Amino acid sequence: MTTKYHFDVLIIGSGAAGLTHALHLADHAQVAILSKGQLEEGASLYAQGGISVVLDQADSLQSHIDDTLLAGAGLCDQEAVSYTVKHARESIEWLIEQGVSFTKDGITSETYHLTQEGGHSHRRIIHSADATGREVETTLLAKVKAHPNIHLFPHHIGIDLITSRKQLGQEENTCLGCYVLDIKNDTPRTFTAPITVLATGGAGKVYLYTSNPDVSTGDGIAMGWRAGCRVANMEFIQFHPTCLFHPKAKSFLISEALRGEGAKLILANGAPFMDQYHPQAELAPRDIVARAIDHEMKRLGDDCVYLDISHQPKDFITEHFPTIYQRCLTFGIDITKEPIPVVPAAHYTCGGLMTNLDGQTDISGLYAIGETAHTGLHGANRMASNSLLECLVFARSAAQKITQLLPQLNTELPMISPWDASRVKPAKEAISISHNWDELRRFMWDYVGIVRSNERLHKARQRLTLLQQEIDDYYSQHRISSDLLELRNLADVAELIITSALERKESRGLHYILDYPELSKMQAKDTILEKKY
């Protein structure tokens, strides 16, 4: 018998989006936050660069909007971009009210230090040294833990959303909650709520090399897709140009802010190369920088390129990039004296579950925020430091909408059947899960990576079809585990990426395909996938 819980709002995910959403709701509702690991673990924690916001008098909202639209390569939703940029300042002011400490221009200064990153025409990145995500996440988490109306469930992973279509056979699809695995007790739980919010982040772990932490397995996107949500633009996976290349440096990102402060990308012989690829050189949009590095590595047969900021004064480097300096030092790399070996890695999922400006998905009672959602802000390529901003703005707008709806909602939900594990048996061994996990991530990297082709995409789809059959067979016969649930979700996300990539017969933004190297006016639209029932 599964344990049942009931709340006004169920939030799945405890990153910047989920925590912000909970704090905006908690004075009006009983809120549950589920996290499949430690509460603070997630991509938000590791965000280094900062949050884009117009604070400098030389800057303007229109400039931020124009830069975002340009980076998005013709696919941004202009209303979503304008909405996000116009609500940026109030979001930053709210963070400061919560106690988030941003870097000032000097010890006695009242103004905040702003840096510049790729795609931005002005300095507009507010930051907390080079650990902005950690400062935001830990500050908000402390606030969340102190609020009596917020109930925390670490080590709980979603299995599947509970919907009226699947549970009650109704034609109208309403979300009623989620079946959840309590990982530590190896027990399924039933969480019901009139409002469920997916804030599970992206899906970087679908690739062999990623800057994302291990929890980034696309759970919310996969659960929403299986429940009946439309998904958009999953072909646009952003590869961060610069992750530390070292056998022991798992997933460590080298912030774009280094390039904003003058760091140069160079080859092993010390020669710079970015000016051959774009007028903005190191500050070109991320897709261009990642492809340039990928091309140079393949051209020369090198394992990496290098990022050099050693020409800056040592005090400047250690003050502005203390985390990166110390982490590199543990691997024997003194960034004040020598260049950093770097490679591109999967970093951000620009597509996701389609939502409106209030975070509402196609399913009544189901919302998606943060990297899980496709709001239209990023288009075909996310501009640097717009991601944490999106988390803040849309977490707030969704909370405002839900607060308006709460008095009208029927909290008496229909009787929900418990999770049925009566026809499955414990697995004798887990080798097939780990093998399939490795195979999936490797062929996604080889065939559906920075540069694609029709041949590679079709190979990936053939491999995935066989893999999904194995996963489905295993899932139907054996008791669930967190590894199995993540593998199932990654396979679903891989299918969405491959299908979307095959539908886009052009090269645009983050999707570069050798068979169609040019832009097509006919393809200047979102790739929208809808599940057939």
User: What is the domain partition of the chain in residue ranges?
Assistant: 3-235+350-407, 241-346, 431-529
Confidence of residue 2 (pLDDT cuts 50, 70, 90): low
Asked whether the predicted pLDDT for residue 153 surpasses 60, the reply is yes
pLDDT band at 110 (very low <50, low <70, confident <90, very high): confident
Q: Is residue 286 annotated as a catalytic residue, yes or no? A: yes
CB atoms closer than 10 angstroms to residue 450: 21
Give just the sign of the alpha carbon dihedral 389, 394, 397, 398.
negative
Please tell me what DSSP assigns to residue 150. Answer: E
Which range has the top average pLDDT, 116-120, 245-249, 374-378?
A: 374-378
Ramachandran class of 270: left when φ > 0, alpha when ψ lies in -120 to 50, beta otherwise = left
Rounded CA-CA distance 440/81 in Å is 34
Residue that wins the pLDDT comparison between 372 and 250: 372
Q: Which contiguous run of DSSP H or E holds residue 160?
A: strand 156-163
User: Which pLDDT score is estimated for 125?
Assistant: 93
At residue 198's C-alpha, the angle toward residues 194 and 201, to 5°, is 170
User: Does the pLDDT at position 446 exceed 90?
Assistant: no
The average pLDDT across 233-262 equals 89
- Given the residues 124, 230, 259, 286, the one annotated as active site: 286
Per-residue pLDDT band at 170 (split at 50, 70, 90): confident
Reported confidence tier of residue 433, pLDDT bands at 50, 70, 90:
confident
Q: How far apart are CA 235 and CA 254, in angstroms?
A: 24
pLDDT at 418: 83
The whole-number pLDDT of residue 428 equals 67
As its CATH architecture, domain 431-529 has Up-down Bundle (1.20)
CB 464 within 8 A of CB 444: no
| Model pLDDT for residues 86-101, shown as the tens digit of each residue | 999 999 999 999 999 9
Average pLDDT over residues 440-469: 95
Looking at every residue in the chain, the average pLDDT score rounds to: 92
Pair of tokens at residue 380: 């075909």
The answer to whether 490 and 440 are in contact (CB under 8 A) is yes
Distances (CA, A) of 144 to 40, 46, 441: 11, 19, 35
The reported pLDDT for the residue numbered 108 is: 67
How does residue 298 score in pLDDT terms, banded at 50, 70 and 90? confident
The separation between CA 127 and the C-alpha centre of its own chain, rounded to angstroms, equals 19
E strand residue ranges, 322-422: 340-349, 352-354, 366-368, 373-374
**Contact between residue 206 and residue 351 where contact means Cβ atoms under 8 Å apart:** no
Does the pLDDT at position 1 exceed 60? Answer: no
**What pLDDT, on the 0 to 100 scale, is given for residue 172?**
86
- In the predicted model, what is the mean pLDDT of residues 270-279? 96
Fold equal for 3-235+350-407 and 431-529: no
The amino acid at residue 419 is W
Alpha-carbon 402 to chain mean position? 23
Neighbouring C-beta atoms of residue 209, cutoff 10 Å: 17
**Residue with token string 């759970």:** 219
The answer to whether the beta carbons of residues 501 and 493 sit under 8 Å apart is no
The pLDDT value recorded for residue 411 is: 65
Helix (H) or strand (E) holding 502: helix 482-503
DSSP state, residue 112 = B
C-alpha distances out from residue 153 to 31, 416, 487, Å: 11, 21, 22
AA identity, residue 332? G
479: helix, coil or strand? Answer: coil
Provide the pLDDT for residue 106: 74
Quote the CATH superfamily of domain 3-235+350-407: FAD/NAD(P)-binding domain (3.50.50.60)
What confidence category does residue 42 fall into, taking pLDDT thresholds of 50, 70 and 90?
confident
* Span 241-346 CATH architecture: Alpha-Beta Complex (3.90)
pLDDT above 80 (res 43):
no
CA angle 72, 75, 76 (to 5 degrees): 65
**For residue 386, which of 98, 15, 72 has the smallest C-alpha distance?**
72
Residue with tokens 């009226």: 164
- pLDDT class of 426 with cuts at 50, 70, 90: confident
Question: Average pLDDT for residues 421-435, to the nearest whole number?
Answer: 76
Which residue's structure tokens are 């300042």? 89
Residue 107: CB atoms within 10 A of its CB come to 5
Instruction: Give the pLDDT of residue 46.
Output: 72
Residue 381, classified by CB atoms within 10 Å of its CB into exposed (0-12), middle (13-18) or buried (19+), is: buried
Average pLDDT over residues 72-79: 96
Task: Give me the residue label for tokens 């016969």.
Answer: 477
d(CA 186, CA 506): 46
Work out the average pLDDT over 428-441.
Answer: 84
pLDDT, one tens digit per residue, over 377-423 is 999 999 989 999 999 999 999 999 999 999 888 767 778 888 877 77
CB 144 within 8 A of CB 22: yes
pTM: 0.91
